[in-house]
Amino acid sequence: MVLPYSNGIQSLLGKNMLGKKRKPTNGDAPGKKRVKKEASIKLVPDNQRIFKDLTFYYVPPPEKSPVRRMRITKAREHGATWTKDFIPSITHIIAEKGLTYKEVMRFLNFDNLPQGVFLVTDDYPTLCLDSHFLLDPTQKPYAICQDKEAPGEETATQNIESQDWNSSLNIKSTSISGKSHGINPAKSPLRRPESSQGSRLREGYEDDPVHFQRLSTGDNKVSVWVESHEASTDPGDINGAPPSAWPGDELEEMIKVARSVEDIPLDKEEDGQEDDRPPSRDDTEESGSEEDVRRRSSKGKPKAKCESAGKASLNQDNFSCMTGGTGLSDESNPNYRTIEVLSKMADYYDRVKDVWRPRAYRRAIGMLRKQNIKICHYDQARLIFGIGHRLAEKIQEIALTNRLRRYENAMLDPSDRALQIFTNIYAVGVNQGLKWVQQGYKSLEDLKAHVPLTENQRIGIEHYDDFLTRIPREEVTALGKIVRDTSASVDHEVEVIIGGSYRRGAPTSGDIDCLLTKSGTSSSNDLMPYLHKLVDRLTDSGFLVAALAVPSETGSKWHGACVLPESPNPIWRRIDFLLVPETELGAALIYFTGDDIFNRSIRLLASKKGWRLNQRGLYKDVLRGHQRVKYTEGSLIEGADENKIFNHLGVPWRPPEQRICN
């Protein structure tokens, strides 16, 4: 049924947004009805259809706007259904920019937005396409809210920032909508209290190479990092900014740090190519992005830039990879409970696709592990490098009450519980999980009954508990022995190395990463015939029970599931085979050993030296252009020897068990 326009919206459609009367066109003349040719729709590949199963309704209709019609075509090419009638299957109402909630409701002749339908500006589909995934439609930049004429107003942000300790405990219910973290950093008031010593504490990451001094705070001996007097005092320099310019929220702190190193390029692992690292349950971050810092688009003419021009000053000692760590967080740690709760909050923000907060939380967790006393109070927490106003409040709440209300409220949200279940399914990411939640599904049974699943998703549901169960170290060793014995029967020159958390000495692992390498090889293609024979023999013996991702002719990884054949009740375990030529073994060992923070730190260090480190090697003289388009591969410094890569970067050798920084 087509709903009639209200008088107010009819007048709006007859005028432009400035109130000027619309000029008549030839199509308005009597007897000259112009029929527009429907644009042809060329659907993108299925894995790129981010709007699949979504139905868009546009307010007002886009007949008079070629730009809006072009946007609709792009949305349809990516899976969206466009309807001109208001039908029950509508999932999103796309309103022209400038319309308020009340105006849209007048147009629809509704009092309130129908349940299960999202109201967003016409920027939303474009931003989703730019991001290559479905964004949360309730975020402030594009959501049109009932209680605000224009979401993201400065006053709302100021109210959030002005809460004191007592009021901050009265936390509103948190949901996957992201409303609690849709702060507009451009409008957020930035403030920073003075430290009791009269020195300004540096807010940011330990890996930001600025001059700092490590101090103790009297008898408590709390480790803090205070900015030294050698830091720049240039008003335009972040390091010399006045205290009032420092942010008080961990999100804003992370944005500030990112801006301070925005010209430092960090590669994706394959510079836009396929990443050979399989998804691992041991990763500390899911992240949507693998770059710590993205370069901003240049407004001028694109210019090539050579990465070999390193930074003039670099305080390398501040990088996490220089000290490493054991990552131990058992109950002997005085801050064990705080670390435990903050880790759960970081996982929650990962699930809701928050980019900044998980990193801020995990950096704070790493600093808390280094403290030799329990951090109980706000002032103590604020003295620790990298912990800002909001995180300090949370640390105090956990220490004094043994709980965090924000986390408890988040866990009470049924939508988040469903999202947790869905994202734990193999081959299901956050985007797909959010889509199912928005469609009203709540359990695995709902999915099996109503959703067309891929073969891998079906296996992930059938063996849901198996894939979630951690693998004891003894079982990883036994499974690895079967692979090694079978490998020797295929080619005794091939070496099998188990990476990931197992190589770091962890008591349990989420999955098994087997690096397969052979002397004299310079390409993964050299090992492809061996891989086919190995997989065939392990399958015939009953060890491999499923192939989840098989490499192409030029691939280098095989993902699947295995069991212990002699076990009476075999549990399916995730296992990956990664082909690594001898010339890349050292870089691959660094990358596939982890942990994630150690890897990010050592790659950032390489970037600040003007080099590039990925799983294939350490490179120099990489020439890049606009938006980091790579013009040259650069010159290989080292790839085969793990120890030599450490030496070239000036990093002390850290055995795998000392690379646990999270």
Active-site residue list:
394
Q: Tokens at residue 45, please?
A: 């590949």
Q: Which residue has the tokens 């109980």?
A: 376
397 within 8 A of 390, measured Cβ to Cβ: no
The one-letter amino acid code at 222 reads V
The one-letter amino acid code at 331 reads E
Straight-line distance from the first to the last Cα atom of the chain, in angstroms, rounded to the nearest whole number: 56
Task: Quickly count helices (H) and strands (E) in the chain.
Answer: 24, 20
Q: Tokens at residue 113, please?
A: 């937005």
Residue 143 DSSP code: B
Those residues with Cβ within 8 angstroms of residue 219's Cβ, 6 or more apart along the chain or in another chain: none
Element housing 573 (H / E)? strand 573-579
**How many residues belong to the chain?**
662
40 vs 186: CA distance, rounded Å? 40
Computed from CA positions of residues 379, 384, 386, 387, in that sequence, does the dihedral angle turn out positive or negative? Answer: negative
Q: Tokens at residue 548, please?
A: 């989840």
559 vs 279: CA distance, rounded Å? 10
66 vs 77: CA distance, rounded Å? 17
199 vs 191: CA distance, rounded Å? 15
Check residue 640 and give left, alpha or beta (phi > 0: left; psi -120 to 50: alpha). alpha
Closest by Cα among 131, 129, 130, 71 to 95: 71
Phi, psi for residue 465 in degrees, rounded to 5: -65, -35
Closest by Cα among 326, 297, 365 to 628: 297
* Cis peptide leading into residue 60 (ω within 30°): yes
594 within 8 A of 321, measured Cβ to Cβ: no
419 within 8 A of 176, measured Cβ to Cβ: yes
Task: Using DSSP bridges, classify how beta strands 635-638 and 617-620 pair: parallel, antiparallel or unpaired.
Answer: antiparallel
Closest by Cα among 139, 362, 393, 360 to 250: 360
362 within 8 A of 340, measured Cβ to Cβ: no
Q: Tokens at residue 111, please?
A: 């009092």
Burial 582-609 (b: 16+ CB within 10 A, else e): bbbbbbbbbbbbbbbbbbbbbbbbbbbb
Closest by Cα among 375, 345, 369 to 359: 345
Q: Which residue has the tokens 């320099």?
A: 237
The Cα-based distances of 486 to 73, 513, 533, 551, 572 in angstroms read 53, 16, 10, 20, 19
Task: Using DSSP bridges, classify how beta strands 118-121 and 92-95 pair: parallel, antiparallel or unpaired.
Answer: parallel
Those residues with Cβ within 8 angstroms of residue 9's Cβ, 6 or more apart along the chain or in another chain: 60, 103, 106, 107
> Across-strand partners of 82?
56
Neighbour count for residue 629 (Cβ, 10 Å):
12
Check residue 342 and give left, alpha or beta (phi > 0: left; psi -120 to 50: alpha). alpha
